[in-house]
Chains A and B, each alone.
Chain A
Amino acid sequence: MNEKELLLQAIAGSEADYTEIRIDHEVRNQVQFQKDKLENLESSSELGGIVRCLKEGGWGIAVLNDISQLRQKIQEAERMASLVGQHSSEAAALAEVPVVQQTVHAELERDFRDVSLREKKELIASYNRILLSHDKRVVSTSARYTDSFREVTLATSEGTFIVQQVPDITLLLVAVASAGKTNIEQGFETLGSAAGFEFVLGREEQATNAAKRAVDLLSARSVDGGKYTVILDPGLAGVFIHEAFGHGCEADSLFKNERMAKIMTLGKRFGNNELNVIDDGYVPGLRGNIPYDDEGVARAKTYLIKNGILTSLLHSRETAKKMGAIPTGNARAISYEYEPIVRMTNTYIDAGVCGFDEMLAGIDKGIYAIKAYGGQTMFEQFTFSAAYAYEIVNGELGEMLKDVVLTGNVFETLRDIDMIGDDKELYGGSGGCGKGGQSPLPVTDGSPHVRITNVTIGGK
């Protein structure tokens, strides 16, 4: 019996109201240099599956590596779904979606599965040499390459059967510079895409930039904490919109909580007329792409904010049913070990009309914050740290600053965006998004430069 027959037969044997099986085949390579040593060179393969059953309004889930156990696992998931259904007064239901039978092939310019380990290793070694040799003060480096090619099959009791090939390739280049005991700084470049091996070629300049930044930061001044007008570069603005706002639009954190849902009522004004925020499930080549989500729902281009007004949330089939919305194709799982939850794809602030010089003009004392080290949100409160920054004095860029951490209330901060640039860029880093124990999920963030007034900056 081939895999398709096995899945269809297993589903046919299920007595649940809804049953889905997702099987994931993956092959991956990793090459990592640390300082002057090859830290890891790895070649792995994986096969696993997840069964999800809805019965009497409850969810039962089973995860397995041994696919021959599929029928037993479906029975187990059914039994647990019943138990949940009988226990809970809140019955889950699914919004209707079209049945899809489709195979989506990845189209790679140069398939990384056909590239030798030798070539992968030598390329990363060459980037590592650039990082290491840039300056004597570079004490350590990390140059990490990963590739992963997944073939994900989704079969549901409604008749959907989708096979999707999901390529992912990343490159992380880090230099650590030191000028004595506690003066230690990092510079990094992080890249990721749903692309072929060509994506990681020709990145010498990024390696040089990472090393140069680590060294420059050794003599940069720590920012003085306080309130500033801030210009965010597209990278940092992208992380901001993803972390601070995007997560708040994920309907699974709202759909069973009326008070939270009220805070995110559609039609509410969140920013000025120029502000548009979009989650788009498919932009050619981007890392956050998913033609179909892990419930078999086709991608969508969803305006979260249109002309400053909240116009949509991000949904799974379950949240859409409960909230009377249309599923947006945002139910995603990082692997077969997990059930799909509501996640972003490619999320960005759309381009405006302002030039960068226009933004600088009129700032007496401000900060130009560039790239993100990381960010976190607790619904309305957010925080993220800039990789580096420059001070702005009387409309001009001044000296380099470090330890720039931005924080605030997302609703106030969105209203305080007073200028949106015309220079939108999108980035898929080498990391990814984390939520509900599922990390890293490949996503893309982006934005043009944006100017925000009244931002609290924490310094030393």
Chain B
Amino acid sequence: MNSFLAELKGRQGELYHLQTRTLPVKFRSGKLESIKSEELEGLALRVIDDGRVGFATTTNVKDTRGLVGAALATATFGEKVSLAFPAQEDHPSVDTYDPAIVELSETDLVELGQDLLTRLERVSSEVDINLSINKVVETVKLTNTSGVDVEEERTRILLSVDIKKAREGDIFLLSEQSQASYLGELQVDRIANSLIQQLHWGERIVPTASKSLPVVFSPAGAICLLLPLIVGFNGKSVFMGTSPLKGRIGETAFSTDLSITDDGAIPHAVRSSSFDDEGIPTTHTPLVSSGVIEGFVYDLRAASLAGVESTGNGSRGGFRNPPRIEMSNVTISSGTHSQEEIVAKIDEGLLVESVLGLGQGNIISGQFSNNVAVAFKIERGKIVGRVKNTMIAGNAYALLKDSLIGLGNDRRCIHGMLDTPTIAVGGVNVIGQLK
């Protein structure tokens, strides 16, 4: 037992120790601007004293007395919980560590970024490109007074590109990201090809009418429809009654083409780990099977409130925060057609790559109403140009139940957590410039 847990003198406790090394390299307007080396370390101590929970964090990893004292002080006024820290369980470990990422030097990262920049700059002299590339190596150690004593190293590489094409009266902004746990899975080519394609489609600006239209959400754009579900399938929201899915397990709430799972144990996936931030083994959790609601995701606290088991979705997002529920890797079922084939069947509609103001508004109800950031007009099955100052509005739950046109076969991971194909839905309220 480490000194922190020993200092608790028989009370229940859990120590989370996070060490993070990152190396972000930034290019601005096509030029290398900065390299940063980050080495961070922090501790979080959660205690249960006389049934009451307390929490404290520190960056002083030697300050046993200070951290234990702060955590116990909060426990004096803490909530009475029926929470118990888990015992150690044997479970297979998940691949989350790529030595090739650890070995990347700052020069390697600079070259990786410079190669992509050169490719993009060849396409148009008018573009202004910001690019960042970052490698992350973390070590998580989790110990508790019930016997959990685990440690894992995880790697990640992140690449993001922003392109500005500015003309008087029109500024076209595009962005693409890729994240991977293994270097070989970083999608550099896909980023380049996608940006080049969008720049080409965006050359011409076309007007949009205000009417109900089919909308094809690319994998990146699909977050607009899926974000309300990420909130809705959170076991805490369900327990609190703020999720519209409460009490609806077994109900066909979505199109029968739609299946959704959460899985924190997929080898190589960006948010995979062998255990969650509370020491629970990660697992596969079906959320929707052929349209039917199957389950929700839980951490220890929400699970104890709801009288269910944790699904291994306790997540801290750094050492500073207490655990809370987060999806791990969410996978949306695939269809059989390519995005091009889906677009080809649409007489008039939009292809949406990204929206502005994601998540603002009444997200719990599924309602969205967003200005498109990057979107293109579809006429007679073809992309005819880019649309601007156009809003799309609808309800994600209603659209994914009654108006699903199709799912693409082009599934990919966006925002490091959502593996989704193109999703086409009908009957989206579009507000454009034409009457």
Contact = CB atoms under 8 A, between A and B. Distances in A.
Interface of A: 34-35, 37-48, 58-66, 69, 73, 76-77, 80-81, 83-84, 87-90, 92, 117-118, 121, 139-140, 176, 178, 181-186, 225-226, 256-257, 259-260, 262-263, 337, 339, 373-385, 402-403, 405, 407-409, 456, 458-460
Nearest to B69: A43
Contact of B431 (A139, A225, A339, A376): A225
B128 A260 contact: yes
B180 to A, nearest CB: 19
A355 B45 CA distance: 55
A83 to B, nearest CB: 6
A117 B128 CA distance: 51
B393 A458 contact: yes
Given A140-B240, A181-B244, A379-B173, A84 B35 contact: yes
Contacts of A337: 38, 40
B128 A381 contact: no
Contact of A182 (B40, B166, B366): B366
Contacts of A43: 55-56, 70-71, 73-74
B320 A44 contact: yes
Interface of B: 28-29, 31-42, 54-60, 66, 70-71, 73-74, 76-79, 106-107, 110, 126, 128, 164, 166-168, 170-171, 173, 210, 240-242, 244, 305, 320, 322, 356-362, 364-367, 369-371, 373, 388-389, 391-395, 397, 429, 431
A256 B107 CA distance: 23
Given A44-B320, A45-B58, A92 B33 contact: yes
A440 B33 CA distance: 24
B58 A376 contact: no
B356 A42 contact: no
Contacts of B34: 58-61, 80, 84, 339
A59 B36 CA distance: 8
B128 A460 contact: no
18 contacts: A37-B305, A40-B322, A61-B35, A64-B39, A65-B41, A80-B106, A84-B32, A87-B32, A87-B110, A176-B240, A226-B431, A373-B361, A374-B359, A403-B369, A408-B389, A459-B369, A459-B393, A460-B429
A66 B38 CA distance: 11
Contacts of A226: 210, 431
Contact of B37 (A41, A45, A63, A176): A63
A41 B47 CA distance: 12
Contacts of A409: 389
A41 B74 contact: yes
B36 A88 contact: no
Contacts of B126: 259
A178 B241 contact: yes
Contacts of A81: 35
B391 A140 contact: no
Most chain A CB within 10 A, of B34, B38, B394, is at B34
Given A183-B365, A184-B364, A381 B241 contact: no
Contact of B393 (A90, A259, A460): A460
Given A60-B35, A182-B365, A47 B110 contact: no
B391 A456 contact: yes
A63 B38 contact: yes
B51 to A, nearest CB: 13
A33 B346 CA distance: 48
Contact of A259 (B41, B166, B173, B322): B166
Contacts of B429: 225, 459-460
B356 A407 contact: yes
A374 B357 contact: yes
A62 to B, nearest CB: 5
A44 B365 CA distance: 35
Given A61-B34, A337-B40, A44 B166 contact: no
Contact of A118 (B31, B77, B370): B77
A263 B166 contact: yes
B32 A88 contact: yes
B48 to A, nearest CB: 13
A388 B362 CA distance: 11
Contacts of A63: 36-40
Given A38-B78, A45-B58, 10 more contacts: A43-B55, A48-B40, A63-B40, A65-B40, A76-B37, A84-B33, A186-B364, A259-B128, A260-B171, A405-B361
Contacts of A90: 29, 31, 33
A263 B360 CA distance: 28
A181 B244 CA distance: 5
Contacts of A460: 367, 369, 393-395, 429
A88 B33 contact: yes
A377 B356 contact: yes
A185 B60 contact: no
Contacts of B168: 262-263
A121 B56 CA distance: 15
A64 B356 CA distance: 35
A38 B73 CA distance: 15
Given A38-B79, A140-B240, A383 B371 contact: yes
Given A61-B37, A65-B59, A139-B240, A45 B70 contact: yes
B360 A384 contact: yes
A82 to B, nearest CB: 10
A278 B365 CA distance: 37
A406 B433 CA distance: 14
Most chain A CB within 10 A, of B71, B76, B322, B431, is at B431
A458 B371 CA distance: 8
B159 to A, nearest CB: 14
B77 A121 contact: yes
A131 B319 CA distance: 31
A11 B40 CA distance: 21
A458 B391 contact: yes
Contacts of B31: 88-90, 256
Contacts of A260: 128, 164, 166, 171
Contacts of B360: 373-376, 383-385, 405
A114 B424 CA distance: 56
Contact of B242 (A41, A121, A178, A402): A178
A41 B77 contact: yes
Contacts of A403: 361-362, 367, 369, 393
A383 B78 contact: no
A181 B57 CA distance: 39
B36 A339 contact: yes
